[in-house]
Amino acid sequence: MSNATDKPDSAADEKSLDFIREMVAADIEAGKHEKIVTRFPPEPNGYLHIGHAKSICLNFGIARENNGVCNLRMDDTNPVKEDVEYVQSIQDDLNWLIDGWADHVKSPELLFASDYFERFYNYAVDLIKAGKAFVCDLNAEEFMATRGTPTEAGTNSPHRDRSVEENLDLFKRMREGEFPDGAKTLRAKIDMASPNIHMRDPAFYRIRHAHHHRTGDDWCIYPTYDFAHCLEDSIEGITHSLCTLEFEVHRPLYDWILDNLDVPRPQPRQTEFARLNLNYTVMSKRKLLSLVEDGIVDDWNDPRMPTISACRRRGVPAEALRRFCDIVGVTKFNSLTDVALLEHTIREVLNKESVRRFGVLRPIKVVITNYPKNGEEDCEGPNNPAAEDQGTRTMPFTREVYIDAEDFMEEPPPKYFRLRPGGEVRLKYAYIIKCEEVVKNDDGSIAELRCTYDEGSKRGGPTADRKVKGTIHWVSAKHALDATVHLYERLFNVPEPGADDRDFVEDLNPNSLETVQAKLEPSLADLKPGDPCQFERLGYFCHARESSPDNPAFLRTITMKDAWTRKKPKK
């Protein structure tokens, strides 16, 4: 990987540490741990999204900065919603996101919570033996009814005082499949009057006769998240278990379970941070899945989705996502981040990485009537002015060129500086042309513009310095690369889709995808699939991965217009 990917490190050095990094630094200072071990524990029930990127950058970042390790663990304790497709996509997306940046801190192998099922079971038996867990026959409804409310204590289960022997026997028979789904649970014996509802004898095991994607039909009882998660962390020797704020109220239970079992010390410590929320975006996996299932988007990696695989397909550099997560930072307060900041960061990174080319998205033909009939010459433009090794590119110029329909208006408003009947404009890196005639089709649409050019107006010519107000892009009609171009916009057109009890699909942007047949600068055919380019004046594009020589395709990663820079106060 290039050195550029190493930059976030130095950026992190200069900044003050966030509260989690401060805590880790203090623990190292106090000699608490030999090695820092973090983990990223996705549930394989959907594709990773930009919110997960924040968690990945935090967990792998902390491991990276402290010569530690970060485990990738599939938190696959729920048999019903999980799928191998997701296990694969999670690995692919994670590897793409951290490649060249944190690969040396990756755990040696992919870990699965389901590999610990037997150990969880044994720990549960230990709790039963210690009189700290019991088998309860209340069904889900009865469980909820006896749980109390935030202001009222719950009531003890009638089965709370079963003997250890009876509990051991029943739990074993639960495992052996003797009881139907929901007939029994294993519950902690803590305190039904606890002000924290999660401490009121929470369920640790449920009966579920369901096939698991890895353990098959070996199990018909499955641990709850609360019971399994702290044990997964403990088994793997995690030092810092970082999760989002909604788990703060579960932390006493996390600690209670480990405190009451014979597990290695020091125990992992759970710390919570605010999840990333983006405006104009939905990030819940349930909602994303429904967009896929209802055919509103092509798939999880449809470039309009907020998933990591969609970002990759759309030409967003991994570095831009990492830099964005770095800028957003880590706090204890939930907030809504402006998607314009993400877009701004993508532009910043692409500005450096993209070659400049011309792309005419909605072509109108221009015939330059005083240009030699079979004439052809090269014009020269910059290759990438933002790169260290700039270089130039050449593009052929001929008598017939295409310009963008947006750059011509028959009856323009005031201050329209592009082409108009009788008006002049500079073709970028080439000549000044003047529109002499608009030729129409029978239906009134424009067939072509007939223009004349100022022969001396090219660079180095006698009238090269002549000023005209507008400069537009173009491509030679004879040489143009015909390509399909997908123009993506935000998937939602309101800042908070689904707010005020609306169905979030009501807020979909009906114009989030437009596909056009474009005329492109011919050398774009040489771009490798996945490579970025800037269509000058229009935005950043990417040579689509599904592109082929017969059917070239490009897609728009992001437009040029930067809503973030505009929002910042002027200096």
Give catalytic residue positions: 43, 275, 285
Beta strands in 54-179 (DSSP E): 69-74, 111-112, 133-136
Q: Do 450 and 401 meet the contact criterion of CB atoms below 8 Å apart?
A: no
Q: Which is nearer to Mg ion, 290 or 493 (CB)?
A: 290
> Among 35-43, 337-345, 369-377, 416-424, which window interacts with ligand ATP (CB under 6 A)?
35-43
Whose tokens are 């000023």? That residue is 467
Closer residue to ligand ATP, CB minimum distance, 276 or 349: 276
Smallest gap from residue 52 Cβ to ligand ATP (A): 5
Residue 67's DSSP bridge partners are: none
| Best CA proximity match to 300, nearest among 310, 315, 290 | 310
Least separation in angstroms between CB 238 and ligand ATP: 12
Tell me the backbone φ, ψ of residue 324, rounded to 5 degrees: -60, -45
Q: How far is the CB of 284 from ligand ATP (least distance, A)?
A: 4
Which range touches Mg ion (CB under 5 A), out of 35-43, 314-322, 348-356, 427-435? 35-43
Taking the least distance from each CB to ligand ATP, the nearer of 227 and 453 is: 227
Nearer to Mg ion among residue 9 and residue 43 (C-beta): 43
**Residue 206's beta-bridge partner residues?**
185, 222
117-128 in b/e burial notation, b at 16+ Cβ within 10 A? beebbebbbebb
One symbol per residue from 426 to 455: x for binding ligand ATP (CB under 6 A), - otherwise; what is it? ------------------------------
What contacts 174, CB < 8 A, 6 or more positions away?
135, 184, 186, 205, 207, 220, 221
Of 244 and 493, the one with the shorter C-beta distance to ligand ATP is 244
Nearer to Mg ion, 43 or 92 (CB): 43
Q: Is 483 exposed, middle or buried (0-12, 13-18, 19+ CB in 10 A)?
A: buried
Q: Does 341 bind ligand ATP (CB under 6 A)?
A: no
Q: What secondary structure does DSSP assign to 317-378, as a single string?
A: -HHHHHHHHHHH---SS---B-HHHHHHHHHHHHHHHPEEE-EESSEEEEEETTS-TT-EEE
Q: In a 10 Å sphere around its CB, with 0-12 CB exposed, 13-18 middle and 19+ buried, how is residue 10 labelled?
A: exposed
**Spatial contact of 266 and 34, defined as CB atoms under 8 Å apart:** no
Residue 276 binding partner per list Mg ion, ligand ATP, none, with a CB distance cut-off of 5 to 8 Å that depends on partner kind: ligand ATP
Residue 327, binding choice from Mg ion, ligand ATP, none, Cβ under 5 to 8 Å by partner class: none
What tokens were used for 112?
């699965």
Smallest gap from residue 337 Cβ to ligand ATP (A) = 10
Q: Are 91 and 72 in contact (CB under 8 A)?
A: yes
φ, ψ of residue 546 to 5 degrees: the values are: -90, 5
41 forms part of the interface with ligand ATP (CB under 6 A): yes
The site partner of 51 among Mg ion, ligand ATP, none (C-beta below 5 to 8 Å per kind) is: ligand ATP
305 contributes a contact to ligand ATP by CB under 6 A:
no
Indicate whether 79 belongs to the interface with ligand ATP (CB under 6 A).
Answer: no
Could you tell me which residues come within 8 angstroms of residue 562 by beta carbon, excluding any fewer than 6 positions away? 340, 343, 344, 347
Q: Is 543 in the site for ligand ATP (CB under 6 A)?
A: no
Question: To the nearest whole angstrom, how small is the minimum distance from the Cβ of residue 117 to Mg ion?
Answer: 18
Residues 43-72 that bind Mg ion (CB under 5 A): 43
Given ligand ATP, Mg ion, none, residue 243, with its beta carbon under 5 to 8 Å by kind, binds ligand ATP
Residue 224 contacts residue 200 (beta carbons within 8 Å):
no
Q: Which is nearer to ligand ATP, 87 or 243 (CB)?
A: 243
- Provide the CB-side half-sphere exposure for 105 (13 A, CA): 25
- By beta-carbon proximity to ligand ATP, the closer residue of 55 and 167 is 55
Q: Give the residue among 386, 382, 466 at the shortest CA–CA distance from 431.
A: 466
In terms of CB distance, is 56 or 127 closer to ligand ATP?
56
Pick one of ligand ATP, Mg ion, none as the site partner of residue 304 (Cβ within 5 to 8 A by kind): none
- The Cα-based distances of 249 to 26, 272, 273, 334 in angstroms read 24, 10, 13, 15
Beta strand 359-360 pairing with 513-520: antiparallel
251 lies in the site for ligand ATP, by CB under 6 A: no
Closest residue to ligand ATP, judged by C-beta, is: 51
| Number of amino acids touching ligand ATP (CB under 6 A) | 14
Q: How far apart are CA 423 and CA 417, in angstroms?
A: 9
Which residues ranging from 275 to 294 are in contact with ligand ATP (CB under 6 A)? 275-276, 283-285
Q: Which residue, 113 or 316, is less far from Mg ion as judged by CB? A: 113
Minimum CB–partner distance for residue 1 and ligand ATP (Å): 24
Does position 383 bind ligand ATP by CB under 6 A? no
- In this structure, what token pair is assigned to residue 249? 């109220």
Name the DSSP class of 160.
Answer: T
497 belongs to the binding site for ligand ATP (CB under 6 A): no
Query: Looking at 9, 18, 27, 43, which residue binds ligand ATP (CB under 6 A)?
Result: 43
Region near ligand ATP per CB under 6 A, out of 47-55, 425-433, 482-490, 557-565: 47-55
Using CA atoms, how far apart are residues 335 and 49, in angstroms rounded to an integer?
17
Should residue 240 be labelled a site residue for ligand ATP when binding is judged by CB under 6 A?
Answer: no
Contact between 486 and ligand ATP (CB under 6 A)? no
Burial of 265 (0-12, 13-18, 19+ CB in 10 A): exposed
Q: How far is the CB of 76 from ligand ATP (least distance, A)?
A: 10
Does 91 bind ligand ATP (CB under 6 A)? Our answer is no
Using the rule CB under 6 A, give the single segment among 52-60, 449-457, 484-492, 524-532 that binds ligand ATP: 52-60
Contacts with Mg ion by CB under 5 A: the residue count is 1
Binding site for ligand ATP (CB under 6 A): 41-43, 51-52, 54-55, 243-244, 275-276, 283-285
Binding site for Mg ion (CB under 5 A): 43
